Structure 1
Amino acid sequence: KLLRKIGLSGRSFVPMLIGFGCSVPAIMSTRTLSSERDRKMTILLTPFMSCSAKLPIYSLIISVFFPRQYQALVMVGLYIFGIICAIIYALILKSTKFKGEPVPFVMELPNYRLPSAKSVVHLIWEKAKGFIEKAFTIIFVASIIIWFLQTFDAKFNVAESPEQSLLAMIGSLVAPIFAPLGFGDWRVSTALITGFTAKESVVSTLTVLMGGNAELVSTLFTPFTAAVFLVFTLLYTPCVAAIATVKREMGGTKAAVATVIIQCAIAWCVAFLIHAVGLAFGLA
């Protein structure tokens, strides 16, 4: 009943629950939804569920900037804030693009039997094989691109330092976009770009660019801008494997590109709003 109030069917609960683990299988699991409307709407809302790949980002930033007694509260707060943003976005979608009522929740219970070990192993292998073939190839290609940009400079010579690499150059061009959010340093922009490949890359990139000392991240943020950064990483575009899955499930590049743009726009607007409020109250 709660999901119906925001325009979803009860079956949408499972994909979004899986989204807290990984967005790729969560998006694929929307195939169980009988209504095309409910399926597409669930796919668009799933990235708001904070996947486990973002945990390294949360752990690093929270451990550096927040007192120990508040760290668990901040972590839980991020998950709850993502759910709240998903609810607001769902209400917007319900009244605009996805007007109409969701399909009533009807669950057909089959005869349950204990499966054989052979059939379980076969099923796991088939699912894992499909994931590796479709998702890993995308991640592999994207990783090569990031490695190339991080290794060579503008003259295609091996960069003597990360600051001279093509990736740093791109990060410097993108940095002004994040300046209104309170973190306009090119190293932060570079980390967010690599995070498009895999969210864990944000932490590894920051560590590399800070000379291998993760604690130096404290020089890039204040406690307040660190909180804004956490909100942005919570909401901005999911990894390239998830986007590839969106493309396949929603039937086209247009939907995948739209998802990236919308997620980034929402993340920027929410982070900007929080930063503006912080400035007004003298928190920044």
Structure 2
Amino acid sequence: AFVMDKLLRKIGLSGRSIVPMLIGFGCTVPGVMASRTLPSERDRKMTILLTPFMSCSAKLPIYGFFTAAFFPGRGGLIMVALYFLGILVGILMALLSKRTIFKGEAVPFVMELPNYRMPGIQNVAHLLWDKAKDFLQRAFTVIFLATIVVWFLQTFDFQLNVVADSQNSILAVIAGVISPLFVPLGFGDWRVSTALIAGFMAKESVVSTLSVLFGSTEQLLVALTPLAVASLLVFCLLYTPCVAAIASIRRELGGKWAVGVVVGQCVIAWVCALLVRGLGLAMGIIG
């Protein structure tokens, strides 16, 4: 926090904000909750909104799956590029936020190190139960309801009949409706749209859903081009975090901010993916 304070002040934050952001590379949920340690309400809100741009570990299966299938031998380079792209987009959004909705300067940086003592078991247990109960009451209810909704959409058709093929489900129909939005990005296939919707529940679901819908890697290779996959990877990096993260943001900031994160990150992801595809086409890459 001390080392990063000078750099983070240039984008409107204090050095304390680096801790939630670093945690966000593992999972956005504890990253959002770690922002409670920030003394300034402005810094806390800004940090929470920037943390989802840090690529969480749940996105690694997506990166690994597509790089192995479409970019063999260059997976490490592509994954590092994606991580740095998320950081770059986060910095740009911080600079924009600093000049718009979060005007002002971060609070002065003062770090006080307490006297370290062994914690009492009773105090730790009480604190863990208090935080766990708070999460179960406020965030898990949202996650549970969203899980039921996605399961229902994947299992039934509009006549409320159980479908044998997920292509006939309500979720597939909805994905078919929104798939034209992704045509300019190069991945307008309804199966990809379905996987992205499933990714709202958990980012790991993107790979498993694609595996079920396409059946084999060969069919995926036929349906998508390397340029389309590059655009898709950027979109997966930046679009809305999972429902657990959104529930945590709603718990910390309220429903309006949570909806703003979902809509805002989807728009940012769409624009960035379009720029990647446009840059690829300008360089003569067939996509």
TM-score range, shorter chain: over 0.9
Contact 2:235-2:273 within 8 A present in 1 as well = yes
User: Is residue 80 from structure 1 mapped to residue 84 from structure 2 by the alignment?
Assistant: yes
Match of 2:212 in 1: 208
User: Aligned partners of 1:152 and 1:139: how far apart in 2?
Assistant: 20
User: Aligned partners of 2:134 and 2:25: how far apart in 1?
Assistant: 21
Match of 2:118 in 1: 114
Match of 1:91 in 2: 95
What are the Cα deviations for residues 71-114 of structure 1, in whole angstroms up to 9, with x where unaligned? 11111111111001100110111111111111111111110123
User: Is residue 238 from structure 1 mapped to residue 241 from structure 2 by the alignment?
Assistant: yes
How high is the sequence identity, in percent, across the aligned residues? 63
What are the Cα deviations for residues 151-195 of structure 1, in whole angstroms up to 9, with x where unaligned? 111211112311111111001000000110000000000111111
Contact 2:176-2:193 within 8 A present in 1 as well = yes
Equivalent residue for 1:275, pick from 274, 277, 285: 277
- Shift in Å at residue 48 of structure 1? 0.3
Equivalent residue for 1:102, pick from 81, 88, 106: 106
User: Is residue 221 from structure 1 mapped to residue 220 from structure 2 by the alignment?
Assistant: no
Contact 1:6-1:94 within 8 A present in 2 as well = yes
Contact 1:206-1:214 within 8 A present in 2 as well = no
RMSD: 1.7
User: Aligned partners of 1:136 and 1:258: how far apart in 2?
Assistant: 20
Equivalent residue for 1:141, pick from 145, 148, 151: 145
User: Is residue 46 from structure 1 mapped to residue 51 from structure 2 by the alignment?
Assistant: yes
Contact 2:140-2:247 within 8 A present in 1 as well = no
- Shift in Å at residue 137 of structure 1? 3.0
Code of the aligned partner of 1:260: V
Code of the aligned partner of 1:162: S
Structure 2, unmatched stretches of 5+, are 1-5
In the comparison of the two structures, how many residue pairs are matched? 281
Contact 1:159-1:165 within 8 A present in 2 as well = yes
User: Aligned partners of 1:148 and 1:98: how far apart in 2?
Assistant: 40
Shift in CA distance, 214/123, structure 1 to aligned 2, threshold 3 Å = farther
Match of 1:248 in 2: 251
- Shift in Å at residue 126 of structure 1? 4.4
Contact 2:199-2:242 within 8 A present in 1 as well = yes
Code of the aligned partner of 1:170: I
Structure 1, unmatched stretches of 5+, are none
- Shift in Å at residue 225 of structure 1? 1.2
- Shift in Å at residue 120 of structure 1? 4.5
Code of the aligned partner of 1:26: G
- Shift in Å at residue 57 of structure 1? 1.0
Contact 1:64-1:215 within 8 A present in 2 as well = no
TM-score normalized with structure 2 length: 0.92
User: Aligned partners of 1:34 and 1:87: how far apart in 2?
Assistant: 21
Match of 2:3 in 1: none
Contact 1:24-1:241 within 8 A present in 2 as well = yes
Contact 2:48-2:249 within 8 A present in 1 as well = yes
User: Aligned partners of 2:95 and 2:226: how far apart in 1?
Assistant: 32
